[in-house]
């Protein structure tokens, strides 16, 4: 109970925020303001609270607020208390039958919005229908289906669809049906059972466990079959933490790239994020997942020097000889791109190409070029272990290869754009290979 002498909006918010902070809530003042708006009724908003901060509260409103506050003090999520959650342009009804939509889930919608006109999309594990309904709201031309194993969740999703007037088909299913889809989006369970006790009380006590947990390593519901991401109750053989057979890793990596998937993989320096260098949809998805501006270039990676040189026949003899002395290895190079190759990787400067050929035994048989970047969010630390790859990336890709602990120092980037003309070069980014070693090679 709040102090009975507390009556003004300002004092109520201050006292409630202090109580929520003592309870361990992360955003006590915001929570207090949202709950007070709910108690005051229609027409109240946070800006209106500021304008009325000295106004007294009537006893009935204060009583309603204290009831809501008591629920939040035991860490019930605000979205469940209010019964709704805003997601992009829509407001969704939510309760304990469904997960609360997170801001990071908007990434799936952003990717889906890049699909061609009238594409057929399926949202696996639709829950409240957040992703499916947001896609339909922002792209009415899309044909959207949401599937879930939970009838309770589907009841929430269907009610949201009716209330919003959005024609999305919701179906009870565990896996993809026999229908053909242009795209699959999925926000599947990915939390390892063993870490359940470490989750915040809001999640651990209130959100549906079936939508959160996925076995001992969090990967039981994420698999890769026939080159297509799908839900299921089995584990993909390349997402296990056990050592990966080199031949199997290369085969699955190539298949993932061929169908436009994304992969987290071990390079010879840090973990990388890769996609087909010539697939515009896959490249867009990679940039969105990393939150990397499209104006920024990425490297094109080959896993064999011969493949790189065959793909860039216009490179001069002097430059080719320099590359042969440096690669494969922990060096990234900038080379002239006179033929305008791999435009999706070049950012704003199509005259320059970033080229990388790592020494990765497990992927040495891969021949197709990939667009590659570090497996981190833009500006984040470079991961040396799979555990250091941000969770959003690990669950947002189609294939994960665990190569154990890597050296952890990024590649040295060398500018060879003038090397053909006069033999000059410079280090753009210091890294795993010293400038002295480069001098000896060049």
Q: Are 208 and 98 in contact (CB under 8 A)?
A: yes
CATH code (residue 112): 3.40.50.150
Question: Do 58 and 111 fall into the same domain?
Answer: no
CB 308 within 8 A of CB 338: no
Residue 273 clears pLDDT 70, i.e. is over it = yes
Scan for tokens 């430059």, then name that residue: 319
The pTM assigned to this predicted structure is: 0.57
Is there a contact between 305 and 123 (Cβ–Cβ < 8 Å)? no
Mean pLDDT rounded to a whole number for the chain:
88
| pLDDT reading at 388 higher than 70 | yes
Overall domain count for the chain: 3
Q: Mean of the pLDDT values across residues 328-352?
A: 96
Q: How confident is the model at residue 200 (pLDDT cuts 50, 70, 90)?
A: confident
pLDDT band at 220 (very low <50, low <70, confident <90, very high): low
Q: Judge contact between 245 and 236, C-beta under 8 A.
A: no
Higher-scoring residue by pLDDT: 240, 326: 326
**Are residue 261 and residue 363 in the same domain, yes or no?**
yes
Condensed to tens digits (0 to 9), the pLDDT of residues 56-103 reads 888 899 999 999 999 999 999 999 999 999 999 999 999 999 999 988
Confidence of residue 282 (pLDDT cuts 50, 70, 90): confident
Q: What is the DSSP letter of 204?
A: I
Q: Which residue has the higher pLDDT, 91 or 221?
A: 91
Shared domain check, 244 and 128: no
Whole-number percent of the chain with pLDDT over 90: 64
End-to-end CA distance of the chain: 75
**Could you count the other beta carbons within 10 Å of the beta carbon of residue 103?**
8
Tell me the residue range of the domain where 47 lies: 9-74
- Judge if 70 and 93 occupy the same domain: no
**Chain Cα centroid distance, residue 94:** 23
CA dihedral 253, 213, 389, 295 (to 10 degrees): 80
Are the C-beta atoms of 311 and 321 separated by less than 8 Å? no
DSSP state of 202: I
Secondary structure letter of residue 115 according to DSSP: S
Q: Give the DSSP H/E element, type plus range, for residue 266.
A: strand 262-266
**What's the token pair of residue 147?**
């599937």
Percent of the chain with pLDDT over 70: 89
CATH code for the domain in which residue 397 is found: 3.90.870.10
Has residue 200 been placed in a domain?
no
Of 98-112, 218-232, 371-385, 427-441, the range with the lowest mean pLDDT is 218-232
Q: Are residues 98 and 46 in the same domain?
A: no
My answer on whether 30 and 168 are in the same domain is no
């Amino acid at each position: 109970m709040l102090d009975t002498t507390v009556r003004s909006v300002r004092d109520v918010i201050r006292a409630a925020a202090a109580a929520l902070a003592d309870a361990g809530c992360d955003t006590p003042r915001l929570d207090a303001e949202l709950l007070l708006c709910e108690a005051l009724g229609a027409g109240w908003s946070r800006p209106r609270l500021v304008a009325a901060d000295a106004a007294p509260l009537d006893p009935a409103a204060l009583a309603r607020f204290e009831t809501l506050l008591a629920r939040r003090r035991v860490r019930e999520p605000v979205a469940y208390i209010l019964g709704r959650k805003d997601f992009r342009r829509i407001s969704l009804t939510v309760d304990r039958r469904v997960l609360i939509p997170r801001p990071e889930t908007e990434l799936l919608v952003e990717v889906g919005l890049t699909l061609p006109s009238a594409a057929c999309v399926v949202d696996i594990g639709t829950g409240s229908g957040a992703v499916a309904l947001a896609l339909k709201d922002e792209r009415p031309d899309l044909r959207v289906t949401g599937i879930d194993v939970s009838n309770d969740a589907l009841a929430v999703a269907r009610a949201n669809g009716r209330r919003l007037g959005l024609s999305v088909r919701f179906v009870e299913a565990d896996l993809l049906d026999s229908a053909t889809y242009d795209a699959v989006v999925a926000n599947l369970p990915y939390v390892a059972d063993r870490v359940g006790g470490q989750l915040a009380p809001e999640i651990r006590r209130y959100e549906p466990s079936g939508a959160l947990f996925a076995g001992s390593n969090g990967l039981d519901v994420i698999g890769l079959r026939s080159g297509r991401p799908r839900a299921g109750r089995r584990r993909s053989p390349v997402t296990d933490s056990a050592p990966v057979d080199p031949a199997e890793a290369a085969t699955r990596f190539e298949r993932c790239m061929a169908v436009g998937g994304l992969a987290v993989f071990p390079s010879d320096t840090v973990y990388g994020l890769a996609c087909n260098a010539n697939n515009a949809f896959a490249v867009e998805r990679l940039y969105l997942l990393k939150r990397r501006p499209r104006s920024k270039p990425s490297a094109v990676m080959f896993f064999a020097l011969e493949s790189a040189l065959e793909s860039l026949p216009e490179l001069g003899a002097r430059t080719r000889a320099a590359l042969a002395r440096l690669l494969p290895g922990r060096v990234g190079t900038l080379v002239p791109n006179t033929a305008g190759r791999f435009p999706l990787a070049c950012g704003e400067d199509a005259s320059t190409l970033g080229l990388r050929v790592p020494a990765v035994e497990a992927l040495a048989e891969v021949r197709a070029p990939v667009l590659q970047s570090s497996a981190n969010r833009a500006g984040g630390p470079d991961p040396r272990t799979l555990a250091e790859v941000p969770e959003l990336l690990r669950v947002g890709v189609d294939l994960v290869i665990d190569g154990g602990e890597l050296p952890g120092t990024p590649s040295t980037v060398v500018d060879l754009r003038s090397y053909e003309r006069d033999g000059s070069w410079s280090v753009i980014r210091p890294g795993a290979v010293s400038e002295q070693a480069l001098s000896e090679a060049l």
